[in-house]
Every structure is written in C-alpha cells, then in structure tokens.
Amino acid sequence: MEYSCELLIIGAGPAGLAAAQYGARANLKTIVIEEMAAGGQSLLIDQLENYPGILEPVSGYDLAESMRVQAERFGAEFVSASVESVEKEGSRFVVKAGGDRFAAEAVIVATGAKHRHLGVPGEDTFAGRGVSYCATCDGPFFKGKRIDRLPASEVARLGLARTFQNLQVCLNMTALENVMVGAHLRLDRNVLKAAFRWPSLRRADQALHQEAAELMRFVGLEHALEARADAMSYGALKRLEIARALAMKPRLLFLDEPAAGLNPRETLEIDELIRKVAASGVTVVLVEHDMKMVMSLSDRILVLDYGKKLAEGTAAEIRQDPAVIAAYLGAGAAGETS
C-alpha cells in the first residue's frame, strides 16, 4: 500500500507521541509508525512522578495511553510496523515499513536514545554497582530517599523488610514473641512508661499480641503461637520469619532463598504464602535457585551469572533467552515451554 502525509513520525515513545500531538493539532496530516507499542520505554515505568505537569504519580502505561488518545483526537494515525528505510524521492521522503510505502513532506525520527558506553575497563563490572547511566533509574532510592548509606533500622522504617537464607530467629523465644519483635519499630520505647506499666503501653501490647497472632494465622502457624522457636521445624521457621517481616508492615519484602532446604510439599506451601503476601499489596523480591518456583511465581525475573546480569524479563522471555539457556536451563528448555 502507498500512503501519503505531511508529517511522518517514526517511533511512538513519549517524544514521538508529543510530536504527533503537536503536528496533528497544527492540522498536519500526521502518521506515526511504531514497531512495538505506543509508549516506548515509558511502558516499563511503574510510577512516574517527574514528568512536567505530573503532580500525582502515574504508571508509564497510563501516561502513554492518554498521550496516544490525545494525539488520535487531534487526527494523528498510528501504524504498527517496523521502519526499514528512509529515502528521498524528489522533494518528499519515502519511508518503507511492513511492506508499505509512506510518502511524507517531513519526517521526525523519534526512535529513542540509549546511554553511551564509555568502553573503559571496569565499566561493565561496576555498572549498577556504583557506575550508573541514569542517576534516578539506577540510584539506590526508595520512596524518594537514598537508602545506600542508611542504617538497617532506617531502611526498615521506610518499609523494606527481609528474611534470611540462614534463619535469624530467636530460638529461646516463643513463635509469637518472635513475630512481635518484628513490630518493635512501631512501639513506644519510652523507658519510664514501660517501668510504670503505663495503661496506653499495656493496650498497645495487647493490640500487638493480637496482630502477631493474626500474622501467625496468615502464614499458617496458628497452631504454634506459644511454641518455642527451637522446637519448630525448619519449614515452620521459614514461615515464622515471613510473619516477623510482615509485622513491620513493609511495602517491599525481600526473601532470601525462601525455598532453600524445604521439601517439595513445604516449597508448595511457601509458594502459596508468597502469592498471598503479594496479593495483600506487598511487593515481593526473592532470590531463589528453585527455577520451577521462580518461573511460576514471578512477574519479572532478573538472571545473574557470577554476579553479572544475564537477562531480565517475564518467565516466557527468560525461558527463550539464549544466554540463560546456555548458562542454566539446558538446550531442551526453550522447546519444553513453547
């Protein structure tokens, strides 16, 4: 097919969408060619709060969608194809994409930009570990605060909780007491009030007791409220650690090898528990070697090989990734999943 327009835009990331909106609003017949989906890199942004005019954080997807709709309202047309060539024919540009020809008076190339690698020794090794290309994207920020130099208690106070690969449970305390410890950052630590058994402290203590018991139920340990931790099974202690971390009311929960050392039944139980935690609104990040669990559970997976990032994506993308297959999954993996 042959198309004709006044303005042709290649790429529908934020730049292409903005150009489309202004071009169409200026009454130019505008066509946008995009090979993926309108939004470009912004589709990867979970919470975007630093675009001009954006007061309340929006997802990159929502922002891109409203930019696309706005451009369409002004008359811009969107074509899904990959641009293969741009040539000049007389006074017009001819763009070839998806087997079609687009003749245009003006072309805007908005195919995005990538950071420039310096190519110096150490750059790859330290990228993401001190060397960064985008201070905001790669920065150690959480809720707008730098967290790389904060003491662990401050990091926890911001809403980051964790469990440990080698259990860090107080074995001489009961299960319930262990969970209550997780809430200590939220407690009133006034020594005088404690010494005189202040009524408000007693009430807070009771409420905490109930809250901890509720969390024990949530992780499936309601039968072990008063059990001493050193009498509990390894699998139960793993769940106890999750309950203790949840007592902090975290926004982000890091699980360090939650399935390590568990039998298949216990692994399934932990798998279900992690789904429940995520469904309750807590973001879960887990480090795990149990590939079956990782693949079935994760929205996004980041694969490391000797400390270096090998791949990042959904389970389906990771299964097809040649580098991951070579390093971990074995030659049959891609076929198995298709």
Ligand X SMILES: Cc1cc2nc3c(=O)[nH]c(=O)nc-3n(C[C@H](O)[C@H](O)[C@H](O)COP(=O)(O)OP(=O)(O)OC[C@H]3O[C@@H](n4cnc5c(N)ncnc54)[C@H](O)[C@@H]3O)c2cc1C
x/- contact string, 70-89, with ligand X (CB under 6 A)?
A: ------------xx------
Which of 30, 42, 163, 267 is close enough to bind ligand X by CB under 6 A? 42
Question: Applying CB under 6 A, which part among 34-42, 189-197, 209-217, 276-284 lies near ligand X?
Answer: 34-42
Q: Which of 50, 153, 172, 338 binds ligand X (CB under 6 A)?
A: 50
Q: Does 110 bind ligand X (CB under 6 A)?
A: yes
**Which run of H or E residues covers position 54?**
none
Q: Specify the residue, 62 or 222, whose C-beta has the smaller distance to ligand X.
A: 62
Q: For residues 76 and 46, is the Cβ–Cβ distance under 8 A?
A: no
**Residue 94 binds ligand X (CB under 6 A):** no
The CA-based dihedral angle spanning residues 103, 108, 111, 115, taken in that order and rounded to the nearest 10 degrees: 150
Pair 98, 81: CB distance under 8 Å: yes
Nearer residue to ligand X within complex by CB, 128 or 264: 128
Q: Does position 156 bind ligand X by CB under 6 A?
A: no
Q: Does 194 bind ligand X (CB under 6 A)?
A: no
Structure tokens at 307: 């400390």
Q: How many of the other CB atoms lie within 10 Å of CB of 301?
A: 20
- # chain residues binding ligand X, by CB under 6 A: 26
Strand segments (E) across 185-259: 252-256
The CB-of-66 to ligand X minimum distance in angstroms stands at 15
Q: Output the DSSP codes for 115-155.
A: PPP---TTHHHHBTTTB-S-TTTSS-EETTEE-TTS-HHHH
- Site residues (vs ligand X, CB under 6 A): 10-16, 33-36, 40-42, 44-45, 48, 50-51, 82-83, 110-113, 137
